[in-house]
Structure 1
Amino acid sequence: MPQNPEKIQDHVELFHQPEYKQLFENKKQFENGHEAEEVTRVAEWTKGWDYREKNFAREALTVNPAKACQPLGAIFAAVGFEGTLPFVQGAQGCVAYFRAHLTRHYKEPFSTVSSSMTEDAAVFGGLQNMIDGLANSYQLYKPKMIAVCTTCMAEVIGDDLQSFINNAKEAGSVPKDFPVPYAHTPSFVGSHITGYDNMMKGILSNVTAGQKKETSNGKINFIPGFDTYVGNNREIKRIASLFGFDYTILADNSDYLDSPNTGEFDMYPGGTKLEDAADSINAKATIALQAHSTIKTREYIEKEWKQPTSVSRPWGIKGTDEFLMKLSELSGIPIPQELEIERGRAVDAMTDSHSWLHGKRFAIYGEPDLVYCVVGFMLEMGAEPVHILVHNSNEIFEAEMKELLASSPFGQHATVWPGKDLWHMRSLLFTEPVDLLIGNSYGKYLWRDTKTPLVRIGYPIIDRHHLHRYTTIGYQGIINLLNWTVNTLFEEIDRNTNIPSKTDISYDLIR
């Protein structure tokens, strides 16, 4: 049926039209579906302890993983450097997924090229794909650097990136002095934070080669890690400016992922300048804002650069206090009064909301660093973690999380679930319900199924707009975390008290 172009219906309304309802009914005839009563019976069974035991006994199957694969983290790291084009040695389909996943989160174009490996490359290797791909990328997109990573296909057949890049330069694909750092990023091991770490190490080892000087440049390096909140890089720059010391962010993708609409297309907005990245080897110290996405990079900096590194995660009051004291120690500059005032505002906001979050039970999932930081903040508010699920966990994270939980009276009844997925989380929420679920947009289906209110924190957030633009670190980040958590709780209270003459006794105007 033709539609009026001035009244195009969104899919929310469109699929309720009679023709689509009939289409869905007809479709069921070919799906070998069970009767509605049987579907309901099995669905109810999956909510109990008996099913939970069977669910947690599975080993060979993952259902809705709470992680992404290595190349996604690698290309995320690459675009933080000036004029850098990510290049993935692998199939087009994989790269389309990475681009789409990041574009949906940021609502920004994410430029990444692929060597478009197909069946012939899988048999004979992807050298020619690399030679042609680098040549085309260099000529068409005019980058200042091309950062290469791999997908499963290239890794399974054993493509040697260093050799391939050398051969491509010999063939004239790019000038011999053109920077082409690389990282092997097989998706069948690790996760997106591993890919970030591998690419960051690969880029830094490339751009700093031969740049070591006998004297320090006096700067402090910051490595954000796989941090998807663009406001955080800007907050780091603001804090450093208030102190007044020189710094380098390795790497700053905030402008790339949140670029202004000026009417002119810029393929490479912002980014850490390559000369600043090259000189980062001469800084006085490097601070990583995440631990688990920077393991190899920090080891490399300490060993090869002979530069001290530390991890400082400025989430919540304690984390921010420790971060600012570290900056004061390294720079020799007292903590600015403006930041002390901001601390007071954050404490005041926490006091305002404390009575609502105190004692609330919550579940959380996500990357190790994000989960650690959010749990720390929630413990400061007196909230009680119950289920802590980290699919891409490791022994170091589990040890530090258990130490954090033991440090607070509110963390005594939490269970850490390493290597588990979101179908495991579903069983946990049905059998041991909580007041809040904290996680990315994929928790939306858990919210619908288990009726557990979802606080959207993490990556990806693709069903709400603009949350990635905020800061979650520092004292200003505390305000945002409070906003998201306590107001989600209020919305749930209102939903449960909004029926006139029945439940509206506590449908209060003032919270």
Structure 2
Amino acid sequence: MPQNADRVLDHATLFREPEYEAMFESKRNAFECPHPEEKVQEIADWTKSWDYREKNFNREVLTVNPAKACQPLGAVFAAAGFDGCLSMVHGSQGCVAYYRSHLARHFKEPCSAVSTSMTEDAAVFGGLQNLVDGLTNASALYDPKMIAISTTCMAEVIGDDLNSFVIQAKEKNGFSKEFPVPFAHTPAFVGSHVNGYDVMVKSIVANFWTKEEGEPTPGEAINIIPGFDGFAVANNRELTRMLDLMGVEHTLLSDVSDVFDTPTDGTFRMYAGGTTIDEIKAARNAKATLALQQWCSEKTLEMVADETSQTTQAFNYPMGVSATDAFLMAVSEITGKAIPESLELERGRLVDAMTDSQSWLHGRKMAVFGDPDFVYGMTAFLLELGVEPVHCLSTNGNPAWEKKMKALLEDSPFGKDTQVWPRKDLWHLRSLLATEPAEFVIGSSHGKFLQQDLGIPLIRLTFPIFDRHHHHRFPTLGYQGGLRVLVTLLDAVLDKLDRDTEKPGISYDLTR
């Protein structure tokens, strides 16, 4: 055998060994009844044609590889950003395993969450007893400061009422009635992870605000809702750094920066950092609540406006120069704090870097896919760089997002030919790129299959990134984050140029 205890091979090389190649070929011939390679290639080529694209876009009841995840994933991520909060998923064990592994594979950190372990009997008779036992056991075993409950498809289809269940759980087991158990109904068969994030943040904040007596007394602090962000570890810290430079007192409502970036020092931290209960309560008396992602915070901002007299405002992933300007100027206007010279210098350095490299990005054609706020923010920065977005696709983008995207694109000469695709999946994007290609695709790791199939390089700049490490440790928001994104785009462009000119005698460029 090609592998033994002294010679351990990774699968990428192991399966290329002659023994495995012969085994795979035998399996194909004996069990798979394969079509001739010529026929397979013929069909593969046809699926990249305009004829197939038309058929592909006519499908109505089938989704193939959507660029989104389900609501409970967003709820688990949101709950993780609160101090001592244990996320409990009311459903089967397999569901919570998916959410935990999805986050752990991206952040390379463990994600703590428990399940009510519903099985067939609970699907028939309801999951009340599962939730009662789950709350009691989880509280005793893991000593959380609060337990945040979300639901899966099973619980929603049979109609489990979390409000009633939590009340009964506290009555049946002598569970402290004061122990906070915020909950959110997060049916996985509608919406996406951004909706789950929104309703969970709303639930946790409202759980404490509604118990406070008297009218809110607005102070000088502001609240920030970061939104579902795979780069939150670095972005939340970058946001805090900028606001501290301005002298702005602030609270991040759901801060996962320490939760998904714990050190290796011999101590396991099940609850590492996050927004404290006292900070949540104090946030009721803030001057304003700002959301960095509009479509991750609609219901939460509505609740804030209903419960308080706070100013509310939503942004769309403030990346690059103009979007960061707009965010900082809004903060300055609300708080009366001036934007310091140090941030103005950072802005100037980003503009200088963009100017230095504009010749390599000007006119490049790129496609973008991902969550609605990310696609909007990324597209806005591309337009600043002189890049021409070819396709902008968001599976969880709605008609309001489409309208806003088109308004953004109409304001730039680089967006005049851009096509916007709400509620389309990555199989749609494959047809689009096969018929109207881009030079690069910007999105998550799921885009690597587009790269393998169509030869269009993937630039990984949003969640999830499974096949690369530590991208989330570097910011993408603000001026510093914009510089990081600029370098990432440039590296992709120049790497492709090197590959295209590897043939001896074509190019000997060392300086670019």
| TM-score with structure 2 setting the length | 0.97
Following the alignment from structure 2 to structure 1, what is the Cα–Cα distance between the partners of residues 72 and 237? 25
Q: SS of the counterpart of 1:149?
A: strand
User: Which residue of structure 2 lines up, in the alignment, with residue 413 of structure 1?
Assistant: 417
Letter in 2 for 1:216: P
Question: Do the aligned partners of 1:70 and 1:186 also contact (CA within 8 Å) in 2?
Answer: yes
User: Which residue of structure 2 lines up, in the alignment, with residue 321 of structure 1?
Assistant: 325
User: Which residue of structure 1 lines up, in the alignment, with residue 509 of structure 2?
Assistant: 508
Letter in 2 for 1:13: T
Q: SS of the counterpart of 1:255?
A: coil
Question: Do the aligned partners of 2:218 and 2:310 also contact (CA within 8 Å) in 1?
Answer: no
Letter in 1 for 2:427: W
Q: SS of the counterpart of 1:190?
A: coil
> How far is 1:403 from its partner?
0.6
User: Which residue of structure 1 lines up, in the alignment, with residue 40 of structure 2?
Assistant: 39
Most deviating of 365-374 and 275-284: 275-284
Q: Pairwise mapping of residues 178-327 of structure 1 onto structure 2 (< 5 A)? A: 178-211=179-212, 213-229=215-231, 230-312=233-315, 313-327=317-331
> How far is 1:334 from its partner?
1.2
Gaps in structure 1 of 5+ consecutive residues: none
Letter in 1 for 2:437: P
Letter in 2 for 1:157: I
Question: Do the aligned partners of 1:362 and 1:434 also contact (CA within 8 Å) in 2?
Answer: yes
- State percent identity of aligned pairs: 56
User: Which residue of structure 1 lines up, in the alignment, with residue 483 of structure 2?
Assistant: 479
Question: Do the aligned partners of 2:183 and 2:204 also contact (CA within 8 Å) in 1?
Answer: yes
Question: Do the aligned partners of 1:226 and 1:293 also contact (CA within 8 Å) in 2?
Answer: yes
> How far is 1:98 from its partner?
0.9
Q: SS of the counterpart of 2:299?
A: helix
Q: SS of the counterpart of 2:296?
A: coil
Following the alignment from structure 1 to structure 2, what is the Cα–Cα distance between the partners of residues 182 and 250? 16
Q: Pairwise mapping of residues 335-350 of structure 1 onto structure 2 (< 5 A)? A: 335-350=339-354
Structure 1 residue 450 and structure 2 residue 454: aligned? yes
- For residues 315-371 of structure 1, what are the alpha-carbon distances to aligned partners after superposition, in whole Å with 9 as ceiling and x for unaligned? 111111111111111221211110011011100111111111111111111000000
Gaps in structure 2 of 5+ consecutive residues: none
Question: Do the aligned partners of 1:132 and 1:173 also contact (CA within 8 Å) in 2?
Answer: no
Letter in 2 for 1:48: S
> How far is 1:382 from its partner?
0.8
| TM-score with structure 1 setting the length | 0.97
User: Which residue of structure 1 lines up, in the alignment, with residue 492 of structure 2?
Assistant: 488
Structure 1 residue 20 and structure 2 residue 20: aligned? yes
User: Which residue of structure 1 lines up, in the alignment, with residue 396 of structure 2?
Assistant: 392
User: Which residue of structure 2 lines up, in the alignment, with residue 464 of structure 1?
Assistant: 468
Letter in 1 for 2:269: D
Q: SS of the counterpart of 1:292?
A: helix
Aligned residues: 508
> How far is 1:468 from its partner?
1.1
Question: Do the aligned partners of 1:138 and 1:173 also contact (CA within 8 Å) in 2?
Answer: no
Question: Do the aligned partners of 1:182 and 1:203 also contact (CA within 8 Å) in 2?
Answer: yes
Following the alignment from structure 1 to structure 2, what is the Cα–Cα distance between the partners of residues 61 and 25? 32
User: Which residue of structure 1 lines up, in the alignment, with residue 151 of structure 2?
Assistant: 150
- For residues 211-246 of structure 1, what are the alpha-carbon distances to aligned partners after superposition, in whole Å with 9 as ceiling and x for unaligned? 255522321000001112111100111011111121
Question: Do the aligned partners of 2:3 and 2:14 also contact (CA within 8 Å) in 1?
Answer: no
Following the alignment from structure 1 to structure 2, what is the Cα–Cα distance between the partners of residues 261 and 500? 47
Question: Do the aligned partners of 1:494 and 1:507 also contact (CA within 8 Å) in 2?
Answer: no
> How far is 1:20 from its partner?
2.4
**Alignment RMSD (CA, Å):** 1.3
Q: 1:260 to 1:213 in 2, by over 3 A?
A: farther
Letter in 2 for 1:262: D
Q: Pairwise mapping of residues 81-230 of structure 1 onto structure 2 (< 5 A)? A: 81-172=82-173, 174-211=175-212, 213-229=215-231, 230=233
Question: Do the aligned partners of 1:134 and 1:173 also contact (CA within 8 Å) in 2?
Answer: no
Following the alignment from structure 1 to structure 2, what is the Cα–Cα distance between the partners of residues 33 and 162? 54
> How far is 1:21 from its partner?
2.2
Letter in 1 for 2:314: V
> How far is 1:284 from its partner?
0.6
> How far is 1:94 from its partner?
1.2
Following the alignment from structure 1 to structure 2, what is the Cα–Cα distance between the partners of residues 506 and 123? 69
- For residues 280-314 of structure 1, what are the alpha-carbon distances to aligned partners after superposition, in whole Å with 9 as ceiling and x for unaligned? 11101001001001010001100122322001342
Q: SS of the counterpart of 1:96?
A: helix
Following the alignment from structure 1 to structure 2, what is the Cα–Cα distance between the partners of residues 305 and 45? 58
Letter in 2 for 1:309: T
User: Which residue of structure 2 lines up, in the alignment, with residue 403 of structure 1?
Assistant: 407
